[in-house]
């Protein structure tokens, strides 16, 4: 038993985080910034206000949270944001996280804009897998969807990531009907050409956006799957429990690349949920689609802080993890936080 849980009478399952529905939480998504160099239309408003510095966890505080989570049995951490690679000092943080015993997977979700420069250093520092967002291979559309991004820079970043030799690289594409749903096969071919995975994500109702009507833009996973299957027959990998998360993955017989679908609308995966999220302001979110949360920044900044305080707050938080989200249901409230605040 480690030093933290030994001192905690509250720990019902020493060394493990288990919620009221007997789900074991062993995965933390850690947002390291709310800022970003892009303004993707489904994620942010064009004119965003970001958090003042005093409200943002320092690199030291982020490391402390990560360390305590690993002592409580969390074996996978994903760094996200905002754009994690625009946070100053990110490579140093990764280096420290990479040395945490107990961490078997250190993953990163990025828009790829800084990867051409940083991929080798991140690999060296201990990042094992990288998700790179890519919704289109058309430069004009790329600029429209990201508002500020440059496709060529991101493609060079993707190539640098492939060359750096991460254990796993996956492209993430949010597909919007009438915007980029005609590129599904082009994106699959691109992933196949690089020998990497690709997942298609249904847009989630996070944050109020005015750029498009979400109910009109939803491209559901089943129709995308049928479209791909007609050209590249797909065979299911089965239960998502064995894969990296809520995505359902499929194999193609003539390629190492896998195709995944992340479908909060058409496929409820809450019963398999093994994750929690920490916003960069230190709010521990127990569910992507609910507001249940605990303020860990207040714990970290209290007088006389000790790691045991944080561990106790995290263990207690398991009791308020909701059973499920209600995306897409009539009368369901929209979550008002933006994805960049949530830690996507």
Binding site for ligand SAM (CB under 6 A): 36, 42-43, 80-81, 83, 109-111, 133, 172, 174, 201, 203-204, 206, 339-340, 344
CA distance 308 to 10: 11
CA distances from 279 to 27, 53, 58, 143, 331 (A): 14, 14, 12, 27, 26
39 touches ligand SF4 (CB under 6 A): yes
What the block records as the tokens of 297 is 């920044």
**How big is the site for ligand SF4, counted in residues (CB under 6 A)?**
13
The phi and psi torsions of 160 (rounded to 5 degrees) equal -65, -35
Question: Three-state DSSP class for 60?
Answer: helix
CA distance 339 to 241: 24
Q: Which residues, numbered 107-146, are part of the site for ligand SF4 (CB under 6 A)? A: 111, 133
Q: Near ligand SF4 by CB under 6 A, which window of 78-86, 150-158, 177-185, 264-272? A: 78-86
342 touches ligand SF4 (CB under 6 A): no
CB 264 → ligand SAM: shortest distance, Å?
8
Q: Nearer Cβ to ligand SF4, position 81 or 289?
A: 81
CB 83 → ligand SAM: shortest distance, Å?
4
CA distances from 18 to 14, 73, 126, 180, 316 (A): 10, 10, 27, 40, 10
Question: Three-state DSSP class for 257?
Answer: strand
Q: Nearer Cβ to ligand SAM, position 240 or 289?
A: 289
The continuous run of DSSP H or E covering 109 comes out as: strand 105-110
Point out which residues pair with 251 in neighbouring strands.
235, 258
339 touches ligand SF4 (CB under 6 A): yes
User: Of 4, 17, 25, 40, which lies in the binding site for ligand SF4, with binding defined by CB under 6 A?
Assistant: 40
CB 292 → ligand SF4: shortest distance, Å?
23
Q: Nearer Cβ to ligand SF4, position 133 or 221?
A: 133
Cβ atoms within 10 Å of 5's Cβ, excluding its own: 19
Point out which residues pair with 30 in neighbouring strands.
79, 278
Q: Answer left, alpha or beta for residue 68, where phi above 0 means left and psi between -120 and 50 means alpha.
A: alpha
CB 36 → ligand SAM: shortest distance, Å?
6
Quick one: what does residue 172 bind among ligand SAM, ligand SF4, none, with the CB cut-off 5 to 8 Å set by partner type?
Answer: ligand SAM
| Beta strands 234-236 and 248-252, pairing class | antiparallel
What the block records as the tokens of 188 is 């699959």
CA distance 87 to 84: 6
CA distances from 109 to 30, 131, 173, 212, 320 (A): 10, 5, 12, 24, 27
CB 199 → ligand SAM: shortest distance, Å?
9
Q: Nearer Cβ to ligand SF4, position 5 or 109?
A: 109
CA distance 62 to 91: 13
Quick one: what does residue 39 bind among ligand SF4, ligand SAM, none, with the CB cut-off 5 to 8 Å set by partner type?
Answer: ligand SF4
Q: Contact 158/194 with Cβ under 8 angstroms?
A: yes
CB 3 → ligand SF4: shortest distance, Å?
36
Q: Nearer Cβ to ligand SAM, position 56 or 311?
A: 56
User: Of 11, 44, 79, 184, which lies in the binding site for ligand SF4, with binding defined by CB under 6 A?
Assistant: 44
User: Of 19, 71, 83, 203, which lies in the binding site for ligand SF4, with binding defined by CB under 6 A?
Assistant: 83
User: Of 73, 81, 245, 260, which lies in the binding site for ligand SF4, with binding defined by CB under 6 A?
Assistant: 81
CB 220 → ligand SF4: shortest distance, Å?
20
CB 6 → ligand SAM: shortest distance, Å?
36
Which residues lie near ligand SF4 (CB under 6 A)?
36, 38-40, 43-44, 81-83, 111, 133, 339-340
């Amino acid at each position: 038993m480690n030093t933290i849980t030994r001192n905690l009478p509250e720990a019902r399952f020493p060394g493990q985080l288990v919620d009221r529905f007997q789900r074991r939480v062993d995965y933390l998504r850690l947002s390291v910034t709310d800022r970003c160099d892009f303004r993707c239309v489904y994620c942010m408003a064009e004119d965003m206000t970001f958090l003042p510095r005093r409200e943002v966890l320092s690199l030291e505080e982020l490391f402390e949270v990560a360390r305590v989570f690993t002592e409580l049995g969390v074996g996978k951490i994903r760094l996200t944001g905002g754009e994690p690679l625009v946070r100053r000092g990110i490579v140093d943080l990764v280096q420290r996280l990479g040395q945490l015993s107990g961490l078997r997977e250190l993953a990163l979700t990025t828009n790829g804009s800084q990867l051409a420069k940083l991929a080798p250093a991140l690999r060296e520092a201990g990042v094992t897998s990288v998700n790179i967002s890519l919704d289109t291979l058309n430069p004009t559309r790329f600029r429209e969807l990201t508002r500020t991004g440059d496709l060529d820079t991101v493609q060079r970043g993707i190539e640098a990531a492939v060359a750096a030799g991460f254990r796993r690289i996956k492209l993430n594409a949010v597909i919007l009907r009438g915007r980029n749903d005609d590129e599904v096969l082009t994106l699959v071919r691109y992933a196949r050409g690089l020998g990497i995975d690709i997942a298609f994500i249904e847009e989630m109702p996070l944050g109020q956006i005015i750029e498009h009507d979400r109910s009109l833009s939803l491209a559901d996973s089943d129709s995308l799957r049928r479209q791909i299957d007609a050209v590249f027959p797909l065979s299911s990998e089965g239960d998502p429990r064995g894969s990296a998360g809520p995505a359902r993955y499929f194999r193609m017989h003539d390629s190492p690349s896998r195709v995944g679908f992340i479908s909060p609308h058409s496929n409820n995966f809450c019963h398999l949920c093994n994750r929690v999220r920490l916003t960069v302001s230190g709010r521990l979110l127990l569910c992507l689609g609910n507001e249940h949360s605990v303020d860990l920044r207040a714990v970290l900044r209290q007088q006389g802080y000790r790691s045991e305080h944080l561990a106790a707050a995290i263990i207690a938080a398991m009791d308020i993890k909701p059973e499920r989200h209600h995306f897409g249901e009539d009368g369901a409230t929209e979550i008002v936080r933006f994805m960049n605040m949530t830690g996507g």
